[in-house]
Amino acid sequence: MIEFRAAEVRSDDDQRMLLQPLTLTLSERRVSIIGANGSGKSTLLRLINGLRTPSAGSVAVFGRDTRTDARAVRQSVGFVFTDPLSQLVMPTGREDVELSLRARKLPTAERLRRGEEVLGRFGIQHLADRSIYDLSGGERQVLALAVVLAVEPRVLVADEPTTLLDLRNDALVRALIAGLDQQVVFTTHNLDFALESERTLVIDDGRIVFDGPPPDAVARYRALAGRSADAPGLDRTNGP
């Protein structure tokens, strides 16, 4: 359960509104967010696990405020970045999974056992001791998912998790996400992926312009994109 209460985000210099005041509750198991580059999708996602705090208003995950209980919220909300290399901080996958488990303060033997279990669940034991730089994009993204899910968060937030992937790996990551027990909130440019969710938000220029069933949301987004294509030049001025 994720609640936005009049949450808004301004740029650091306070000159631009990156996200207009937003009030909504996300309780569906799969929520997708679509919109143009720079429309505010990533900013919205970062609000959920406290990587970014609202300039005004508040965001709560299972009743915990992301500003006052940021660390507690992060333990319950896993975050998957677009580029897995931004996420993986250890030289090999096994070490990165174990790094995640260190936060749980488990005894070494238990940590190793759970690490193996996680690698096995995602079918990546054979990649565990290879350098993360030697893995393909798809393998890295699966590893990034494993690393985040190793600590069994209640919510998974994924920022364009399939953007850098080829079709085969795109399908693989989507299937993995579909099979998760956790609530998943993700941004994507892949409209087929968005259609797999239960609820879709369309965001444009920092404002939610549609919130509802994915097919209707995709149609709305296509209409928006068509209008933007007719206008000359770039239509965005704010960053993520």
Partner 1 sequence: MRGYGSTLGLYQHGQGFLYRTPLSLKAVASLACAVAVVTWRSPSTTAITLTVTLCALLIGAHLSPLRILRMLAPAAPMLAILALYQGLAQGWLRAFTVVGGITACLLAARAVTLTTPMQSLLDGVVRLVRPFRVVGADPERFALALSIMLRSIPYLAGLFMDVREAARARGLERNARVAVTPLVIGAVAYAHRTGEALAARGLGEHDGDRDRGMDPHDPGA
Which residues would be at the binding site for partner 1 (CB under 8 A)?
Answer: 49, 51, 62-64, 69, 71-72, 74-76, 78-79, 81, 85-92, 94-95, 98-100, 102-103, 105, 108, 111, 129, 131-134, 147-148, 151-154
CB-CB neighbours of 87 under 10 Å: 19
Query: Under a CB-based contact definition with an 8 Å cutoff, are residues 164 and 10 in contact?
Result: no
**Cβ closer to partner 1: 35 or 153?**
153
State the nearest-atom distance from the C-beta of 157 to partner 1, in Å. Answer: 9
State the nearest-atom distance from the C-beta of 110 to partner 1, in Å. Answer: 13
CB-CB neighbours of 157 under 10 Å: 28
State the nearest-atom distance from the C-beta of 95 to partner 1, in Å. Answer: 5
**Cβ closer to partner 1: 127 or 218?**
127
Residues contacting 155, CB < 8 A, separation 6+: 2, 48, 49, 61, 76, 77, 78, 182, 183, 184, 185
**What strands, in cross-sheet order, belong to the sheet with 17-26?**
17-26, 2-10, 56-61, 64-65
**What strands, in cross-sheet order, belong to the sheet with 183-187?**
77-80, 155-159, 183-187, 30-35, 199-204, 207-212
**Cβ closer to partner 1: 92 or 197?**
92
**Cβ closer to partner 1: 161 or 214?**
161
State the nearest-atom distance from the C-beta of 158 to partner 1, in Å. Answer: 11
Q: Give which of 87, 188, 101, 196 is closest to 142, Cα–Cα.
A: 87
State the nearest-atom distance from the C-beta of 135 to partner 1, in Å. Answer: 10
Please give the helix or strand (H or E) that residue 186 lies within, else none: strand 183-187
State the nearest-atom distance from the C-beta of 165 to partner 1, in Å. Answer: 18
**Cβ closer to partner 1: 40 or 78?**
78
**Cβ closer to partner 1: 66 or 200?**
66
